[in-house]
Chains A and B, each alone.
Chain A
Amino acid sequence: MMRERKRYVIIYLKDEIDEETFRKDLIDETINFVGVKGLSFFLPRIVFRKDNIFVIRTTVEGLKIFRSILVLKGGVKGRSVRIIKVTGSLKKAKAVSESLNPSMFSK
């Protein structure tokens, strides 16, 4: 069986929030929009965090769902979310996140 292609989405959250709450909110929004079937494609997992910069692991299909949620809702539960970059490997995602300075976005 072929391995599913993953995507690592680097996002910036304006508000301070803990990982678990953000993950739960994201799952709630996904179920609200695409239901449980859609969630099976998305299945977000926070794999890295540096201050307000998060790296979420998802599938290629899941990325489209995530972006659609951001278009429809403007964020996650009223919180502004910005996609900074999408990478194909965790190594690269971590490198990009490490190089970013959160104060660049908070201005």
Chain B
Amino acid sequence: MTKQYYDLYVRVPEFDMNICEEVVRLIKQKRYSGFSIAIQINPSFTRVTRSQMNFLEYCAKVAEHYGLDFVKRLDIRLKRVGAIKRFLQRYRRKFEVVSVLGLNREVISFSSRDNRIDIITFYPSKNFKLLKGDIEYIRNSGKHVEFLINYLRECKSNEQLAYRLGLYRKNLELIERKKIIPTFSSGIIYPEFIPDFLSVIDFYEMLGVKRETIIRGLSDYIKALIDKNRKKIMGKMVSPGVEVLDDEREKKICDNLS
């Protein structure tokens, strides 16, 4: 079976139904099997509107028509833990994936310990530090650390790009050494400029990450996370490790046991 590649972070310039089909078509042309459009929560935009939710619903329908898997994602970019908690309480079950941008130590520490957060997004600054305790929690709860390409594209000078590439390399090396699950997404606004997955694989390989790890970070790890979260939302996963089986699967497992 061929691998299913995902771009788990696509941004759209505006939540307009007309651009939805264009986005889906471009993603399909790049040979991805699935993608996610993220709703960003930041200090200047602190609520999820009805029109945004409608847009996501519409995108899901269009993606299904094109044979793509669509994932609803909430991306929280706040510096205060109290505010993040408030959003998690309100929106956790409405989105399939919840991520938090690691803006400071307080946020990183909280994100690695809270089970409602699936992904910690890497922010290229010296403030992004994963300490021993954080790593332990991230590993045990199977959280992902995500690397975005848009931070590298936004660089204004070669010096800044070199500095950020250095941070990426350093943190990728740490994540590989500590056996944390990495995820690689684009985070780019215009889908026309989203790189295809083969380019992403080659790029991160140049930064010293193993090819196998990158491929999994673009496909298997994401698929597993989405499946797990969908089961959670549907109520099939009561608690970690406890799953309600449907009749067919139950029968299969019973047959195997006997």
Contact = CB atoms under 8 A, between A and B. Distances in A.
| Consensus secondary structure, chain B interface | helix
A64 interface: yes
B188 A67 contact: no
A89 interface: no
B193 A74 contact: yes
B200 interface: yes
B158 A67 contact: no
B203 interface: yes
Interface in B149-167: 149, 152-153, 158, 161
B244 to A, nearest CB: 42
B219 to A, nearest CB: 17
A72 interface: yes
A26 to B, nearest CB: 15
A23 B207 CA distance: 26
A71 interface: yes
The A interface is mostly helix, strand or loop, or mixed, namely helix
For A63, A70, A105, A107, the residue with the greatest tally of chain B CB atoms inside 10 Å of its CB is A70
A61 B173 CA distance: 22
B257 interface: no
A74 B203 contact: no
B198 A83 contact: yes
B199 A67 contact: yes
B250 interface: no
A64 B153 contact: no
A92 interface: no
A68 B153 CA distance: 12
B202 A67 contact: yes
Contact of B205 (A14, A64, A72, A83): A64
Contacts of B193: 74-75, 80
Contact of A68 (B25, B158, B188, B203): B203
B192 A68 contact: no
B83 to A, nearest CB: 32
A71 to B, nearest CB: 4
Interface of A: 14, 32, 63-65, 67-68, 70-75, 80, 82-83, 105, 107
Interface of B: 25, 29, 149, 152-153, 158, 161, 188, 192-193, 195-196, 198-200, 202-203, 205-206
